[in-house]
C-alpha cells in the first residue's frame, strides 16, 4: 500500500482486493509492523471515502495510543472541512477520534463548528453543544459549553431561549473572576471571548457588561503571561527635560509685543518683510523668552 500511494497508483478499493481489512481484523498486534501501519495510516488520509474511515478504525485497534491517530487526523479535519469542502468526511474523522478520546475538548469543539459552519445543521450543533455543556465539570469547561450553546442560539436567531443561558454565563464569569486563575487552551479562550464580546447586545447594562469583560480579559492576559513566560520590557529612565508651559510662552510673547509699537507689529506680521528683519524679530523674541 505504501509503495502504491507513493507512486500515486492506489485506490482505497484495493484494500478489499488485497484483503487488508481482513488482515487487520484477524492478525495479532504483535505480528504487525506498527511503524509501517502508522505511516500508511497518515498517507491514506488523502483519500476521502468510507474505506478510509474503516481502515482507521481497524488501525486504531492495534495502535495503543489513540492520540497518535488523532494528531495525524486533526490537520486533515481542517483541510477537508474548510478548504476542500468535504465536510461529511471531516465529520466522520472527528466522530471516529471521539470514540477513543471522549473527553477531548478540541475534537468536541471541532465537531460543533463543522456542523454549525459547514453543513449548517443547527439542530445537530445545538444537540452537541447541549450534551457537552451538561457533561462539563470544571468552570472553564462550563464556560466553553455555555459559549457554544449561546453561539448556536444566536446563529439560529432563537432569542427567546437566550436570557437563561446569558444569566448562567454571567454567573460562570463571576465565578471565574473570583477564582482569579484560568488554565485554558487558546481555542477555548477564543470561544469564550467571542460570546462575552456580544454581552452588550444581550442585555442593556453597560456597567456590568464592561466590568465582566474587563475582569475576564485580565484573567486571560495573566494566563497568557504565565503560559508563555512573558516578561514586561523594562523601559529606560528618561532624562529630565526642561518643560515650558504654554501659558509661560504666551505671557512672554504678549509682553514682548506690547513693548513694540503697533506700527512695527503690523509691518512685521502683515506686510512683506525681508529675511534680515524677520531674523531680527525672531532673535529679539528668543532673547526675551530666555
pLDDT average, residue stretch 48-54: 87
Q: What is the pLDDT of residues 104-120, one digit of tens each?
A: 888 888 888 888 887 77
Percent of the chain exceeding pLDDT 70 equals: 74
> Tell me: the pLDDT tens digits for 143-160?
888 888 888 888 888 878
pLDDT for position 171: 85
Provide, rounded to the nearest whole percent, the portion of the chain with pLDDT above 90: 0
CA terminus-to-terminus distance, the chain: 89
- Look at residue 253 and tell me if it is in a domain: no
Chain segment 248-287, per-residue pLDDT in tens: 555 555 665 566 566 565 555 555 555 555 555 555 655 5
Q: Which residue has the higher pLDDT, 4 or 71?
A: 71
In a domain, 62, yes or no: yes
Is 112 domain-assigned? no
Q: Contact, 95 vs 50, CB < 8 A?
A: no
Same domain, 137 and 217: yes
Structural domain boundaries enclosing 66: 1-102
Q: Is residue 79 part of a domain?
A: yes
Strands (E), the chain: none
pLDDT of residue 155: 83
**Coil vs helix vs strand at 183:** coil
Alpha carbon separation from 206 to 54, 115, 178, 200 (Å, rounded): 53, 33, 20, 7
Is the entire prediction scored with pTM above 0.85?
Answer: no
From 185, 213, 229, give the residue that closes a domain. 229
**Per-residue pLDDT for 13 more than 80?**
yes
Mean pLDDT of 229-239: 59
Residue 178 CA from chain centroid, whole number: 24
Same domain, 169 and 89: no
Averaged pLDDT of the chain: 76
Is the pLDDT score of 141 beyond 60? yes
Q: Are residues 162 and 205 in the same domain?
A: yes
198 or 106, which is more confident:
106
Q: Is residue 12 part of a domain?
A: yes
- CA dist 238 and 242 (Å) reads 12
Cα separation of 228 and 50, whole Å? 41
Write the pLDDT tens digit of every residue in 88-105.
Answer: 888 888 888 888 888 888
Q: How many structural domains compose the chain? A: 2
On whether residue 250 sits in a domain, the answer given is no
User: Are residues 73 and 161 both part of a single domain?
Assistant: no
Segment 201-219 shows an average pLDDT of: 77
Q: Count of residues for the chain?
A: 290
Overall average pLDDT of the 45-54 stretch:
86
Query: Quick one: 92 and 4 in the same domain?
Result: yes
Residue 89 and residue 129 in one domain: no
Q: Is residue 183 part of a domain?
A: yes
**69, 59 contact by CB (below 8 A):** yes
pLDDT value at residue 25: 87
User: Is the pLDDT confidence value at 24 over 60?
Assistant: yes
Please determine, for residue 28, whether its predicted confidence score (pLDDT) is greater than 70: yes
Q: Is the pLDDT of residue 167 over 80?
A: yes
Amino acid at each position: 500500500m505504501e509503495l502504491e500511494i507513493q507512486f500515486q497508483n492506489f485506490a482505497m478499493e484495493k484494500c478489499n482486493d488485497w484483503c487488508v481489512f481482513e488482515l487487520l481484523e484477524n492478525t495479532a498486534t504483535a505480528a504487525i509492523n506498527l511503524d509501517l501501519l502508522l505511516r500508511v495510516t497518515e498517507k491514506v488520509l488523502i483519500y476521502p471515502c468510507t474505506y478510509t474511515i474503516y481502515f482507521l478504525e481497524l488501525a486504531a485497534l492495534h495502535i495503543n495510543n489513540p492520540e497518535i491517530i488523532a494528531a495525524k487526523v486533526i490537520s486533515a479535519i481542517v483541510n477537508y472541512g474548510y478548504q476542500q469542502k468535504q465536510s461529511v468526511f471531516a465529520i466522520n474523522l472527528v466522530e471516529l477520534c471521539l470514540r477513543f478520546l471522549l473527553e477531548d475538548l478540541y475534537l468536541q469543539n471541532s465537531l460543533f463548528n463543522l456542523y454549525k459552519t459547514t453543513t449548517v445543521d443547527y439542530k445537530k450543533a445545538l444537540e452537541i453543544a447541549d450534551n457537552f455543556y451538561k457533561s462539563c465539570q470544571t468552570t472553564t469547561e462550563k464556560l466553553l459549553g455555555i459559549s457554544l450553546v449561546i453561539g448556536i442560539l444566536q446563529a439560529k436567531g432563537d432569542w427567546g431561549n437566550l436570557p437563561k443561558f446569558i444569566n448562567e454565563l454571567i454567573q460562570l464569569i463571576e465565578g471565574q473572576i473570583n477564582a482569579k486563575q484560568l488554565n485554558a487552551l487558546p481555542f477555548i479562550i477564543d470561544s469564550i471571548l467571542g460570546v462575552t464580546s456580544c454581552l452588550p447586545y444581550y442585555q442593556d447594562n453597560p456597567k456590568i457588561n464592561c466590568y465582566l469583560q474587563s475582569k475576564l480579559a485580565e484573567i486571560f492576559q495573566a494566563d497568557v503571561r504565565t503560559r508563555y513566560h512573558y516578561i514586561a520590557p523594562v523601559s529606560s529612565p528618561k532624562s529630565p527635560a526642561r518643560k515650558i508651559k504654554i501659558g509661560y510662552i504666551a505671557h512672554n510673547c504678549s509682553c514682548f509685543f506690547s513693548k513694540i509699537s503697533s506700527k512695527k507689529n503690523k509691518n512685521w506680521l502683515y506686510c512683506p518683510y525681508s529675511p534680515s528683519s524677520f531674523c531680527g524679530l525672531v532673535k529679539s523674541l528668543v532673547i526675551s523668552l530666555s
